[in-house]
Amino acid sequence: MAMIQRPKGTADVVPAQAYKWHTVEKLASETAEQFGFKEIRVPTFEETGLFLRSVGETTDVVQKEMYTVTATGDSEFTLRPEGTAGVMRAVIENGILNDGFPQKLYYILSCFRHENVQKGRLREFHQFGCEMVGTADPKADADVIALAKNLMDRVGLKNIELNINSIGCPTCRAKYQQALRDYFGARREELCDTCKERLEKNPMRLLDCKSPICKEIGKDAPLIIDYLCDECNDHFEKLKKNLSLMNIDFVVNPRIVRGLDYYTRTVFEFISKDIGAQGTVCAGGRYDGLIGELCGKQVPALGFGMGLERLILTMESQNCDFMEAKTCDLYIASMGEAASERAMAMTMELRDEGFFVEYDLVGRGIKPQMKYADKIGSKFVLVLGDNELETGEAKLKNMASGEQVAVKLDNSFTDTFSNALMAEMFKDLDEELAELGRK
Ligand code: ATP
Ligand code: MG
């Protein structure tokens, strides 16, 4: 039979891999909360116009990558290609702009882009994003960068290079764009068709073009950094000073322009050399014009998006630690109908007490039950049969040591089991400490 397979550029996270996602999601939200960011959740799709207005009509994302959907008689919607636009729409719509500044928000969500699928480049991918609203102070830029850096340190990443640049404000950009038009205009015929179009509308996009010939021509293009106005230059100098005060290493990379239209002044990327061409793990910047563009109220803001697939790929390539999945505390094996019912009742009670307990759900014999308990890594096994029910006593087996102790099957069982579990956990801890001592 022909099986239906998952769409190209999407991925399944199977149970054996899910702990990696739990690790990065947990550490990401913990880091964000420590920096004072609160979670926001927004819809998976938005009116298409939101992305046209915010991401920008001359970007790859809008021109080539959007998944746009319609339902009969409804307006046109687009699956979010990124998080910022929807989050800013929600900030405006829910009156969060009136709640005092800065507002600090974070999210973990899926994004959809119709891209050429490659390693680290998917059609559905996930971002951890942070946005800070209501401050133009360069301290905020450094603080947001510090958050991303803190998370990357926390997950154990090494060799990540922070690249920063300033792409100025509309004032300095006007002069710069003319310089770019002059430069690229001289070789107009050689540019790709998309770039020919961009030359008039948004020449900065040419610097982001992935076609080899445009890249080659772009090598000697004028740099925005040489065109910054005094205010933008001052902002950039202060950002650099703040990063140095925070002991965060960076390089100024005047070639970063970012793919989205709404950025102003600071742009940055954290780049890994360990996962090939798609090495940008995190990218962000300041977008002082976006909220004004959406609602007419001028409110400066900034943020970043971190690609979680790329983060996990980099962690894997560097053998970083992931949080282990929890394993079963106790498996209650049973023989015979009465014992099986007792196993079920005990399991429910122990689960109510907060223990991780399993019992036979297949109707297998005692031997395959023991095998199963071993396979799932249960710390203890309790064996119940008619005999045990009669005497009110059973054997509790420690699966790591093989040691068995007799336990009473009355009200005292929970305490007895809890103590045995504690002793086992402390033994593990002692071994870990001894191991550390040897190192
Ligand atoms: P690129 O230049 O790699 O296409 P971009 O400029 O389109 O990146 P952003 O829109 O800034 O990327 O998205 C922020 C982050 O999200 C990226 O740095 C990356 O980690 C991740 N990301 C973007 N597109 C994809 C994708 N198609 N698959 C997986 N991760 C992605
Ligand atoms: Mg892209």
In whole angstroms, give the CA distance from residue 265 to residue 171: 11
Using omega within 30 degrees of 0 as the cis cutoff, is the peptide bond preceding 254 cis? Answer: no
For the residues 88-106, what does the mean pLDDT come to?
Answer: 97
pLDDT of residue 318: 96
Q: Are 297 and 133 in contact (CB under 8 A)?
A: no
Q: How far is the CA of 336 from the centre of ligand 1 (A)?
A: 57
CA–CA distance, 278 with 271 (Å, rounded to integer): 9
| Angle value at C-alpha 19, between 24 and 155, nearest 5 degrees | 30
Tens-digit pLDDT profile for residues 25-63: 999 999 999 999 999 999 999 999 999 999 988 888 998
Of the residues 260, 310, 311, 314, which should be mutated to test ligand 1's pocket, given the most ligand atoms within 8 Å of the CB?
A: 310
Q: What is the distance in A from the centroid of ligand 1 to the CA of 195?
A: 20
C-alpha of residue 77 to centroid of ligand 1, in Å: 21
- The residue to mutate among 280, 281, 312, having the most atoms of ligand 1 within 8 angstroms of its beta carbon, is 280
For residue 9, pLDDT beyond 80: yes
Instruction: List the residue whose alpha carbon is closest to atom 28 of ligand 1.
Output: 121
Chain mean pLDDT for the chain: 95
Instruction: Please tell me the distance between residue 439's alpha carbon and the centre of ligand 2 in angstroms.
Output: 44
Measuring from atom 9 of ligand 1, which residue has the nearest CA?
283
Q: 75 pLDDT exceeds 90?
A: no
The pLDDT value recorded for residue 438 is 77
CA 343/CA 348 separation, integer angstroms: 9
Mean predicted confidence (pLDDT) in 194-203: 88
Residue 390: left (phi > 0), alpha (psi -120 to 50), or beta? alpha
Ligand 1 within 6 A of CB of 143: no
The pLDDT tens digits of the residues spanning 332-353 come to 999 999 999 999 999 999 999 9
**pLDDT at residue number 268:** 97
121-132: b or e for each residue (b if 16 or more CB lie within 10 Å)?
A: bbbbbbbbbbbb
**Tokens found for residue 426:** 């402390």
Mean pLDDT throughout 383-399?
97
Q: Is 82 in the pocket of ligand 1 (CB under 6 A)?
A: yes
pTM higher than the cut 0.95: no
Mean pLDDT of 387-413: 96
Terminal alpha carbon distance of the chain = 55
Which ligand has an atom closest to residue 311 CA?
1
User: For residues 45, 49, 53 and 56, what is the CA-based torsion angle, rounded to 10 degrees?
Assistant: 70
pLDDT confidence bin for 160, thresholds 50/70/90: very high
Which pLDDT band holds residue 436 (cuts at 50, 70, 90)? confident
Q: Using CA positions, which residue lies closest to atom 22 of ligand 1?
A: 307
Ligand nearest to the CA of 81: 1
pLDDT at 130 over 90: yes
Res 377: pLDDT? 96
Residue 240 has pLDDT above 90, yes or no: yes
Is the beta carbon of 281 within 6 A of some atom in ligand 1?
Answer: yes
Q: Whose CA is nearest to atom 14 of ligand 1?
A: 305
CB atoms within 10 A of CB 398: 17
Minimum-distance ligand 1 atom for the alpha carbon of 284: 11
Q: Domains in the chain, start-ordered, CATH in brackets? A: 15-169+229-317 (3.30.930.10), 330-423 (3.40.50.800)
Percent of the chain with pLDDT over 90: 84
CA gap 436, 99 in Å, rounded: 48
Q: If you write DSSP's letter for every residue of 57-126 in order, what string do you get?
A: TTSHIIIII--EEE-TTS-EEEE-SSSHHHHHHHHHHTTGGGS-S-EEEEEEEEEE-----BTTB-SEEE
Query: Measuring CA to CA, how many Å separate 99 from each of 63, 103, 157, 301, 385?
Result: 35, 8, 36, 15, 63
Ligand 1 center from residue 401 Cα (angstroms): 48
Q: Tell me, what DSSP letter sits at residue 321?
A: -
Residue ID of nearest Cα to ligand 1 atom 25: 121
**What is the structure's pLDDT at 430?**
83
Ligand 1 pocket, 149 CB below 6 A? no
